């Protein structure tokens, strides 16, 4: 075991304030930093326990302990996601249980709990931020088992620690299994239809390995390009199988990477922890921090949407089958969907890609943020980013007042987790004289620039970028100064997608599309007729997209809403029952989607994947307010900023929505937006 650092040793993870020195952080820094950090924070907790009449200054000192832990651990977690290595992974996995256990110990501390009860009585039932911090903290105490007998507290801590370890193992298996696959091809005819931007990257990858031809990886952009555009059904089927069998008994090296046993362990741990706290199942425990009131409400919501959507999805699949002249396999659906879309609308994603060079899209996106919310983003050199492609933007108001900062890491590469996400780098906080402004990470996996050509992204990737920037705005425009409630922190999980899904709507507006598009060769913006056609195509195959997401959401929720944790074959059987109820496309027997479902087995969406659809209802209704007043109406934008973005978790999510909209949310705007219903 590495010895803890002494005070005179230098460790970039323990540097006070400022931005993390990412490039200086080495795997050998992690364990000493975590040990030093936890020792210091335990000493600070000892001092807080001695205070019998806590005040708001005491509350801020308690918040500062949490924030100090996060300031050290957040860079480690982030680096493990974007520049993973065996050494960093080992250091992360070694220290994650220590961080998890510290948090659980803190929230099981009976003395600290009594201090918060006393503070709650002193503050009263007010609506101020301090009152909300206290309420949230008391809830966290309850959900961490503070009232349990000592033996059961210890058991709960053991379960939480093991759960964190298993989640990390699930994600690492998925990353390793994804990176392990590649397809080497020397026959150009077999790659017909695949976009040149993907083939250029594959040719470069082959050269770097000393190979002729093309070396295709299994990252998200490549997989989507193959199944959507490759004329070779054989290649589409190969890629579909590779993607659908990652980290499973059907993929390569199952003895190393099969996630099925880990799924069983995770489900058992969750169920035991929830029942130990007195909940019937993990779904009930999960809903304690969400807007939805009960499991029955969630299931009814999902089934209602499925009932409204499935007939349209069936019709869409029949249309594709008729177009292809045969019953389509799962790896054919995206391909023929794109072909029909091109024929019907005379528009293709690859044609549009030429109009969306990433630098121009970013400029237009930042101009939109300035127009709506009065902020400016300017690229700034900072010390030690974690990769040469990373950029940092300083954010300020029009008068120059600093707001915060944004890191962007936008390109796919080996040892980087797939997908797109926003994460917090620094929280907004003002605690007993110490002030820090928020900083966000915006991470995507777009195709990298090749030679002197810019990265060209599809319109669907434009929508993804807007989505993650919406999360970033939620984090950056907060006005809450307690970090546990600032930005996205403390926001009900089924409401946290509201700002991100709201901002997606602007990626379809003609005025915005003209601003963010420039043909990378001619410099011309996207022509008006293509903009009109793109918007006509927005609801194309929306029924199929809807039921696919509902399949995931219902599977997740029913998986966690069970009298006993489903294990082994029961997990697959449950998924099949959900597919029989909701889906219109049945995958082949070898499909192991559950083994790749990182959102619920490695991320924070367990018994919460429904949140995407729940928040989509909120977002569509919120955007309807802009449709009524004008998409760029200043008063509406300022009300959205004040009611939704600024308040973080300091206000109940429903109260915040009602404050903005003047009423509770309605389902109809989403049904209209997706084309499932045209009723006003």
Which residue, 286, 285, 281, 261, is CA-closest to 271?
281
Q: Mapping DSSP to helix (H, G, I), strand (E, B) and coil, where does residue 24 land?
A: helix
Helix axes 569-582, 542-560, angle to 10 degrees: 140
Tell me the C-alpha distance between 385 and 390, whole Å.
6
β strands within 243-390, DSSP E: 375-379
Query: What are 223's strand-pairing partners?
Result: none
CB 513 within 8 A of CB 631: no
With helix as H, strand as E and coil as C, how does 407-434 read? EEEEECCCCCCCCCEEEEEECCEEECCE
Reported as type and span, the H/E element at residue 440 is strand 439-446
Tell me the C-alpha distance between 457 and 460, whole Å.
8
Tell me the C-alpha distance between 582 and 547, whole Å.
6
Q: Report in angstroms the alpha-carbon separations of 264 from 248, 252, 278, 546, 600.
A: 13, 20, 21, 28, 13
Left, alpha or beta for 586 (phi > 0: left; psi -120 to 50: alpha)? beta
473: number of Cβ within 10 Å: 25
Q: Torsion over CA of 51, 52, 54 and 58, rounded to 10 degrees?
A: 10
Q: Are β-strands 402-411 and 439-446 bridged in parallel, bridged antiparallel, or unpaired?
A: parallel
With helix as H, strand as E and coil as C, how does 201-263 read? HHHHHHHHCCCCCEEECCCHHHHHHHHHHCCCHHHHHHHHHHHHCCCCCCCCCHHHHCCHHHH
Question: Got the DSSP string for 619-661?
Answer: HHHHHHHHHHH-TT-HHHHHHHIIIIITTTTSS-HHHHHHHHH
Tell me the C-alpha distance between 90 and 84, whole Å.
10
Tell me the C-alpha distance between 120 and 141, whole Å.
13
Tell me the C-alpha distance between 579 and 81, whole Å.
31
User: 461 φ, ψ to 5°?
Assistant: -75, -30
Residues shown for the chain: 680
Active site members: 468
């Amino acid at each position: 075991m590495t010895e803890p650092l002494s005070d005179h040793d230098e460790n970039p993870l323990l540097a006070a304030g400022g931005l993390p020195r990412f490039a200086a952080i080495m795997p050998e820094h992690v364990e000493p930093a975590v040990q030093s950090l936890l020792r210091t924070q335990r000493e600070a907790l000892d001092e807080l326990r001695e205070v019998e009449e806590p005040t708001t200054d005491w509350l801020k000192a308690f918040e500062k302990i949490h924030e100090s832990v996060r300031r050290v651990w957040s860079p480690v977690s982030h680096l493990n996601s974007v520049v993973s290595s065996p050494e960093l992974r080992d250091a992360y996995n070694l220290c994650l249980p220590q961080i998890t256990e510290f948090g659980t110990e803190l929230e099981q501390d009976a003395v600290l709990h009594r201090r918060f009860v006393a503070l709650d009585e002193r503050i009263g039932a007010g609506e101020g931020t301090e009152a909300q911090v206290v309420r949230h903290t008391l809830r966290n105490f309850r959900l961490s088992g503070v009232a349990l007998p000592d033996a059961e507290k210890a058991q709960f801590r053991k379960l939480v620690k093991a759960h964190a370890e298993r989640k990390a193992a699930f994600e690492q298996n998925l990353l390793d299994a994804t990176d392990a696959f590649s397809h080497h091809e020397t026959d150009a005819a077999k790659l017909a239809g695949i976009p040149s931007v993907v083939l250029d990257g594959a040719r470069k990858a082959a050269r770097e390995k000393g190979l002729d031809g093309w070396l295709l990886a299994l990252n998200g952009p490549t997989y989507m390009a193959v199944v959507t555009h490759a004329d070779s059904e054989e290649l589409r089927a190969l890629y579909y199988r590779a993607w659908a069998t990652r980290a499973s008994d059907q993929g390569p090296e199952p003895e190393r990477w099969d996630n099925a046993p880990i799924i069983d362990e995770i489900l058992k741990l969750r169920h035991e922890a929830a029942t130990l706290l007195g909940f019937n199942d993990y779904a009930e425990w999960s809903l304690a921090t969400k807007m939805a009131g009960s499991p029955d409400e969630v299931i009814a919501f999902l089934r209602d949407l499925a009932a409204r959507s499935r007939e349209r999805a069936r019709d869409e699949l029949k249309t594709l089958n008729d177009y292809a002249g045969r019953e389509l396999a799962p790896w054919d659906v995206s391909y023929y969907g794109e072909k029909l879309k091109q024929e019907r609308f005379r528009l293709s994603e690859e044609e549009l890609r030429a109009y969306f060079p990433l630098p121009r899209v970013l400029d237009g996106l930042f101009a939109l943020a300035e127009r709506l919310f009065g902020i400016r983003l300017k690229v700034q050199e900072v010390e030690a980013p974690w990769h040469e492609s990373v950029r940092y933007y300083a954010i300020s108001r029009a008068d120059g007042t600093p707001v915060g900062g944004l890191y962007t890491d936008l390109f796919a590469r080996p040892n980087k987790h797939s997908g797109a996400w926003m994460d917090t780098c620094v929280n907004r906080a003002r605690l007993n004289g110490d002030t820090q402004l928020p900083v966000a990470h915006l991470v995507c996996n777009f195709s990298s620039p090749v030679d002197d050509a810019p990265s060209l992204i599809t319109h669907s990737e434009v929508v993804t970028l807007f989505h993650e920037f919406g999360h970033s705005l939620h984090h950056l425009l907060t006005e809450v100064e307690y970090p546990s409630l600032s930005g996205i922190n403390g926001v009900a999980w089924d409401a946290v997608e509201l700002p991100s899904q709201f901002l997606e709507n602007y990626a379809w507006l003609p005025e915005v599309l003209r601003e963010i598009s420039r043909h990378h060769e001619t410099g011309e913006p996207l022509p008006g007729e293509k903009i009109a056609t793109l918007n006509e195509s927005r609801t194309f195959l929306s029924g199929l997209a809807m039921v696919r997401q509902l399949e995931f959401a219902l599977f997740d929720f029913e998986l966690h809403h069970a009298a006993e944790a489903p294990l082994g074959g029961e997990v697959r059987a449950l998924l099949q029952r959900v597919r029989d109820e909701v889906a219109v496309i049945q995958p082949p027997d070898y499909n192991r989607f559950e083994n790749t479902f990182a959102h619920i087995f490695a991320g924070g969406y367990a018994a919460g994947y429904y949140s995407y659809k729940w928040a989509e209802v909120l977002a569509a209704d919120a955007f309807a307010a802009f449709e009524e007043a004008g998409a760029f109406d200043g008063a509406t934008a300022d009300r959205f900023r004040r009611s939704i973005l600024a308040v973080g978790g300091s206000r109940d999510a429903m109260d915040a929505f009602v404050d903005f909209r003047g009423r509770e949310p309605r389902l109809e705007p989403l049904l209209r937006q997706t084309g499932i219903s045209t009723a006003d």
